Amino acid sequence: MFNVENIRKDFPILQRKVNGKPLVYFDNAATGQTPQLVIDVIANYYQNYNSNIHRGVHSLSQEATDAYEASRKIIQNHFNAKEAYEIILTSGTTHSINLVANGFRTLLTKGDEIIVSAMEHHSNIVPWQMLCEATGAELKVIPMNIEGELVLSNYDNILSDKTKLVFVNHISNALGTINPIKTIIKKAHLFGAAVLIDGAQACPHLIPDVQDLDVDFYVASAHKMCGPTGVGMLYGKEEWLKKLPPYQGGGEMIAEVSFNKTTYADLPHKFEAGTPNIAGVIAFGAAINYMNSIGFKAIEVYENELLDYATTQLLGIDGLTIYGTSKNKTSVISFNLDGIHPYDVGTLLDKMGIAVRTGHHCAQPIMDFYNIPGTIRASFAFYNTKEEIDNLVEGVKKAQLMLQ
Ligand SMILES: *Cc1c(COP(=O)(O)O)cnc(C)c1O
């Protein structure tokens, strides 16, 4: 049974006060909070078996290696990857995307085209622009409409035999829109193009099945799904991971090294140079187990309730506009008050203990589309409550009175 009061007890940070008021944490789209159980996993690693992995014959190294590889298995099962070695452990979504974009430098030439959407996070734009600069490939954009949905008829027009890669987020961090990625993937495959899905914002809310999606690359960060910062994953189909060259050279990623020639290790080690965030990876597995123990179906139902409630309450405020009004969206609400800068509202809300994000949310093209400097973004997780939303609505009304 889903019981939010019990769930809140798992998160020590939710008990604290900010500026003398109980913390209302509505910045979950930037990073999620961490339950005590996951914090304990990190402490336990350093207290009891801190040791480098894969290289040692001694017991601590073996324990650390086993826990690290067990985590890879948890991630494999969660995303339903066919093989554990198709899961590459990285420092996060940004690292995962750069790894793939860098690898494609060897596979693209002038005349090739790659496709991005109009609603991407900067980390799913800039690495590809760098790829275009390095190879002469051209970047095309799937536009969006006023509701904050991708215009798929336009996608059909820009797809062609020249298209080599398509990269789109599963859920927009700025608008909350859930994109029709299965359709996007299917259409790209008709032209032989590979698809990378940025799942950083989707994974806190749903379970992607990479085999069912038939996606070529899927990336995510642990810190948005109850895990620590500085850890993430790249799922890649075996055939693609074999085609891509290593991203970084170093220890652990080699088979043999001499000054004449170095040969690379097999998957997944080819892409995991150097000592990784071992405690972080182990905690990532624990975080996924924790979220599954709550249940993604229950999380979805509850978060949709929060989203509907907050949308109705906020729209009751005169002069408030919500950006991103797709029927397919998750618990992210971007909004503005007429004639008031989002930053000023965010600052006043902070004084009331309410944490929201203000600004462009690393998605400047979306702000340009709406011709606004930024938005106030409230993003909800399964440990938030309707009472907290009432606090937000009261806070926004107060801020409006003070700033008008
Ligand atoms: C958070 C986020 C990223 C960046 O994730 P990092 O953990 O900072 O690498 C990329 N894309 C989307 C959609 C995000 O929400």
Active-site residue, from 132, 203, 226, 362: 362
* Boundary-marking domain end, from 261, 292, 323: 292
Å from CA of 223 to ligand 1 middle: 10
Q: What is the CATH number of the domain that holds 22?
A: 3.90.1150.10
Å from CA of 362 to ligand 1 middle: 9
Smallest CA-to-CA distance from 222 within 95, 137, 69 is with 95
Taking the CA of residue 384 as centre, how many other CA atoms within 13 Å lie in the half-sphere pointing to its CB?
Answer: 33
Q: Residue 349: count other Cβ atoms within 10 Å of its Cβ.
A: 23
The reply to whether ligand 1 has any atom less than 6 angstroms from the CB of 124 is yes
Residues 154 and 195 in one domain: yes
First to last CA, the chain: 44
Give CA–CA dist 53/57, Å, rounded. Answer: 10
- From 96, 223, 362, 364, the mutation candidate for ligand 1 (largest count of ligand atoms within 8 A of CB) is 362
Q: Whose CA is nearest to atom 12 of ligand 1?
A: 200
Residues 101 and 78 in one domain: yes
Give CA–CA dist 37/286, Å, rounded. Answer: 8
Q: Residue 74: count other Cβ atoms within 10 Å of its Cβ.
A: 19
The reply to whether ligand 1 has any atom less than 6 angstroms from the CB of 96 is no
Å from CA of 80 to ligand 1 middle: 21
**Structure-block tokens of residue 74:** 């948890």
The reply to whether ligand 1 has any atom less than 6 angstroms from the CB of 123 is yes
Q: Residue 26: count other Cβ atoms within 10 Å of its Cβ.
A: 26
Alpha helices in 203-253, H assignment, sequence order: 210-213, 238-243
Å from CA of 93 to ligand 1 middle: 6
Residues 57 and 12 in one domain: no
The number of the ligand 1 atom at minimal distance from the alpha carbon of 221 is: 7
Å from CA of 26 to ligand 1 middle: 17
Residues 314 and 332 in one domain: yes
Residues 56 and 105 in one domain: yes
Residues 263 and 345 in one domain: no
What pLDDT is recorded for position 276? 96
What pLDDT is recorded for position 205? 98
What pLDDT is recorded for position 271? 96
Tell me which residues of the chain have a pLDDT lower than 50.
none
The reply to whether ligand 1 has any atom less than 6 angstroms from the CB of 90 is no
Q: Are strands 138-142 and 113-117 parallel, antiparallel or unpaired?
A: parallel
Residues 45 and 10 in one domain: no
What residue type is assigned to position 67 of the chain?
A: A
Which contiguous run of DSSP H or E holds residue 232? strand 232-236
Residues 224 and 103 in one domain: yes
The reply to whether ligand 1 has any atom less than 6 angstroms from the CB of 169 is yes
Q: Are 379 and 29 in contact (CB under 8 A)?
A: yes
The reply to whether ligand 1 has any atom less than 6 angstroms from the CB of 28 is no
Smallest CA-to-CA distance from 284 within 52, 26, 76 is with 76
User: What single-letter DSSP state applies at residue 144?
Assistant: B
Smallest CA-to-CA distance from 139 within 151, 126, 149 is with 126
- From 98, 116, 121, 169, the mutation candidate for ligand 1 (largest count of ligand atoms within 8 A of CB) is 121
Å from CA of 94 to ligand 1 middle: 6
Give CA–CA dist 77/177, Å, rounded. Answer: 26
Q: Rounded to 5 degrees, what are φ and ψ at 73?
A: -65, -45
Active site annotation includes 132 = no
The reply to whether ligand 1 has any atom less than 6 angstroms from the CB of 379 is no
What pLDDT is recorded for position 391? 98
Q: Are 96 and 232 in contact (CB under 8 A)?
A: yes
**Residues sharing a CB contact under 8 Å with residue 227, sequence separation 6 or more, in sequence order:** 34, 38, 280, 283, 284, 286, 287, 288
* Boundary-marking domain end, from 292, 326, 346: 292
Residues 288 and 299 in one domain: no
Q: Residue 373: count other Cβ atoms within 10 Å of its Cβ.
A: 15
The number of the ligand 1 atom at minimal distance from the alpha carbon of 172 is: 13
Give CA–CA dist 118/125, Å, rounded. Answer: 9
User: What single-letter DSSP state applies at residue 246?
Assistant: P
Label each residue of 281-313 as H, E or C.
HHHHHHHHHHHHHHCHHHHHHHHHHHHHHHHHH
Which contiguous run of DSSP H or E holds residue 379? strand 375-379
**Residues sharing a CB contact under 8 Å with residue 34, sequence separation 6 or more, in sequence order:** 11, 13, 226, 227, 228, 287
The number of the ligand 1 atom at minimal distance from the alpha carbon of 199 is: 13
Q: What is the CATH number of the domain that holds 116?
A: 3.40.640.10
Q: In terms of residue numbers, what domain contains 386?
A: 4-30+295-403
- Domain tally, the chain: 2
Residues 358 and 251 in one domain: no
Residues 74 and 223 in one domain: yes
**Residues sharing a CB contact under 8 Å with residue 404, sequence separation 6 or more, in sequence order:** 339, 340
The number of the ligand 1 atom at minimal distance from the alpha carbon of 31 is: 1
Å from CA of 200 to ligand 1 middle: 5
232-269 per-position pLDDT tens digit:
999 999 999 999 999 998 888 888 899 888 889 999 99
Give CA–CA dist 174/365, Å, rounded. Answer: 11
Residues 137 and 58 in one domain: yes
The number of the ligand 1 atom at minimal distance from the alpha carbon of 120 is: 13
The reply to whether ligand 1 has any atom less than 6 angstroms from the CB of 92 is yes
The number of the ligand 1 atom at minimal distance from the alpha carbon of 121 is: 11
* Boundary-marking domain end, from 292, 324, 341: 292
